[in-house]
Structure 1
């Protein structure tokens, strides 16, 4: 994969795949008399909206800071992930409702094998798109692309469920189709909830406590640092903003204290790729021992 590739490439790939697959599924679903495949095609149409939302969020997040957004627009990426999660949850609930309805009112009519082959082809395509976007998300550290990759995987599972239902219908197991839809619907809802939980955690400035403790231990080892009084971090898009309060020898002048802060900034940038570290320097207070 090209290291210079941007997250937008993954969003455009998803949109292109969804457009092509939705058209194929709707046409074949009608010809092969497969209600499950037609539903899968409609699901892909709705996924175009999810991918478009992520693409818009990525575009907005790259806008430079202005007088209303002094920290830039990076959090637009998180908002696009939330939109994707809500849309996925809606799709998952729709699949669940349709599945339960079909169990109660299923028709003893098997679709043609062409529908199963189309569903299998679609699953392979979406697994390929998922693998591409997952690697791209790790490479660019894009939370929106991570959400998109999870959506791609859900769509591959939907197609696999569709194939299982169609094959089951060929052997007179007509209830396989709605049962597979229910299982897939649960998986889509689970994925949507995971994306929502992770994104809302970041939007409320949540950060992994264990990672913060690691930062604190490393900063405490920097020459000249007497004590690390506080370490806080938050995410702006895919970038970590670190706020550190350290205590140093009160006899140090401003230049020496600034050199210690520079060493901490360089270390965090080199070891953790943290580009922005705000450091507040305080004099270390000597507390005399009680007799």
Structure 2
């Protein structure tokens, strides 16, 4: 991560914290004022609106908690980072929205069945109007921060602020209608707004649930990633691509097929090139883990069941014993193919005549996972 990226991330975190604390400083006194004035003026709508403002205060607290955790770097307990703390907070906010919607809907139904006897006073009307103005301004501020930082959590919290403004509209309409004699109008408006809030809770809660249960992104994203991988020279195939969301970004892992004769260092270099291609082509992907494998020889028994180097190296030594001096062996390379494991022995000197045939005969008697032992040597300079 460059210094510019770090500075941008710090600025985004600072903006989100400011928006969250602005909500705390506004919601705390506003909730208290609405509840107290509602009790004094006997306005049930304003008291309910004040309770909803308290849920906004809880939402802001959840956001501040998430911001204190989600931007921490990966550690031993969270090797993939802490981004899902923000997702968890988004889900909590969506749940609060859903509960607020249910509460408003139940209260609206009760008021439709049993309208209040009297109307509140002008003070309750003024407090509801002030609440609308303040909460709508806070909604636009928080929404702008969400858009600038790409944070679903801040967007959900912005809608929670707007939901409070909406309930204040309901309270205002209820108080005004009660003062004019139409006591049923505010309850009907409350029911409509409750359904709207339920939809907002679903819009923001559903993606959070999908992320927490590792639901894959759209097929279009997978197609773009595969295209970026296949643009890498030397890459023969890409398969077993797996994707998941992580706090607004995407993480992936994939298997790529390479030339079986390719060296490990070249395979690593090609894998890094493929990874860079994906990250450059898809900014929404912040990590991709690449598993290189030999083309056409990744799923056979040799790849999963054949013996490992210590056992096979001993078989090679037994087959070469007395034919090739131990000091003449420079390097042993094992090539795991579907038809068996090929051992390639690099020598420092030319082997004796007939060495290859004698070694092949011994290998037949050994009955190991080795299918062939090849001798390679360079002529003396």
- CA deviations over 1:127-165 (Å, ceiling 9, x no partner): 222222223223333332232122122222222222232
Relative to structure 1, the CA distance from residue 183 to residue 8 in structure 2 (aligned partners, 3 Å threshold; closer, same or farther) is same
Name segments (4+ residues, structure 1) moved above 6 Å.
none
The 8 Å contact of residues 152 and 204 in structure 2, kept in 1 or not, is answered as: no
Is 1:186 aligned to 2:195, yes or no?
A: yes
Once residues 209 and 24 of structure 2 are traced to their aligned partners in structure 1, the CA distance between those partners, rounded to angstroms, is 25
Q: Deviations over 1:45-84 (max 9, x none)?
A: 1221122122212212234444333323322222222222
RMSD over equivalenced CA pairs, Å: 2.5
Bigger Rg, which one: 2
Structure 1 partner of 2:231: 221
On the 8 A contact 1:85/1:196 being kept in 2, the answer is yes
Residues 200-224 of structure 1: CA distance to partner in whole angstroms, max 9, x if unpaired? 1000111322222222223222333
Query: What corresponds to 2:291 in structure 1?
Result: 280
| Change over 3 Å in CA distance of 1:58–1:167 after alignment to 2 | same
2:57 corresponds in structure 1 to 48
Q: Secondary structure at the match of 1:275?
A: strand
Of 11, 15, 35, the residue aligned with 1:26 is: 35
Aligned twin of 2:318: none
Mapped pair 1:5 → 2:12: yes
State which of 221, 224, 229 in structure 2 corresponds to 1:211.
Answer: 221
What is the match of residue 262 of structure 1? Answer: 272
Instruction: Report what 1:94 is aligned to.
Output: 103
Matched, 1:159 2:148: no
How many pairs does the alignment contain? 285
3-state SS of the aligned residue for 1:111?
coil
Query: Do the aligned partners of residues 117 and 270 (structure 1) sit closer, same or farther apart at CA in structure 2, a change above 3 Å counting?
Result: farther
TM-score normalised per structure 2: 0.67
Provide closer, same or farther for how the CA distance between residues 155 and 228 of structure 1 changes in structure 2, counting only shifts above 3 A. Answer: same
Cα drift, residue 175 of structure 1: 0.3
- The answer to whether the aligner puts 1:82 opposite 2:115 as a matched pair is no
Contact 1:243 1:278 in 2 (8 A): yes
Q: Given the superposition, is the C-alpha separation of residues 56 and 127 from structure 1 closer, same or farther in structure 2, using an over 3 Å criterion? A: same
In structure 2, the CA distance between the partners of 1:212 and 1:14, relative to structure 1 (3 Å rule), is: farther
The question of whether the paired residues in 1 share the 8 Å contact of 2:132 and 2:166 is answered with yes
| CA distance in 2 between partners of 1:77 and 1:88 (Å) | 16
| Per-residue deviation, residues 224-243 of structure 1 (Å, max 9, x unmatched) | 32222132222233442221
TM-score computed with the length of structure 1 as normaliser? 0.86
What are the equivalent positions in structure 2 for 1:124-143 lying under 5 Å apart?
Answer: 124-143=133-152
Give 1:122 shift.
Answer: 2.0
* Structure ranking higher on relative contact order (CA contacts 8 Å, 6+ apart): 1
Give unmatched runs, 5+ long, in structure 1.
Answer: 287-291
Q: 1:284 to 1:142 in 2, by over 3 A?
A: same
Higher strand content, 1 or 2? 2
Secondary structure in 2 matching 1:279: strand
Is the 1:58–1:144 Cα contact (8 Å) retained in structure 2?
Answer: no
Most deviating of 144-153 and 249-258: 249-258
Greater Cα offset, 35-44 or 236-245:
236-245
Provide structure 2 residue ranges, at least 5 long, that are not aligned to the other structure. 1-6, 298-381
For residue 80 of structure 2, give the secondary structure of its aligned residue in structure 1.
coil
With over 3 angstroms needed to count, the CA separation of the structure-2 counterparts of 1:265 and 1:138, relative to structure 1, is farther
Question: Secondary structure in 2 aligned to 1:224?
Answer: coil
Rounded to whole Å, the distance in 2 between the matches of 1:171 and 1:223 is: 76
Structure 1 residues 28 and 196: alpha-carbon distance in aligned structure 2, compared to 1, 3 A threshold: same
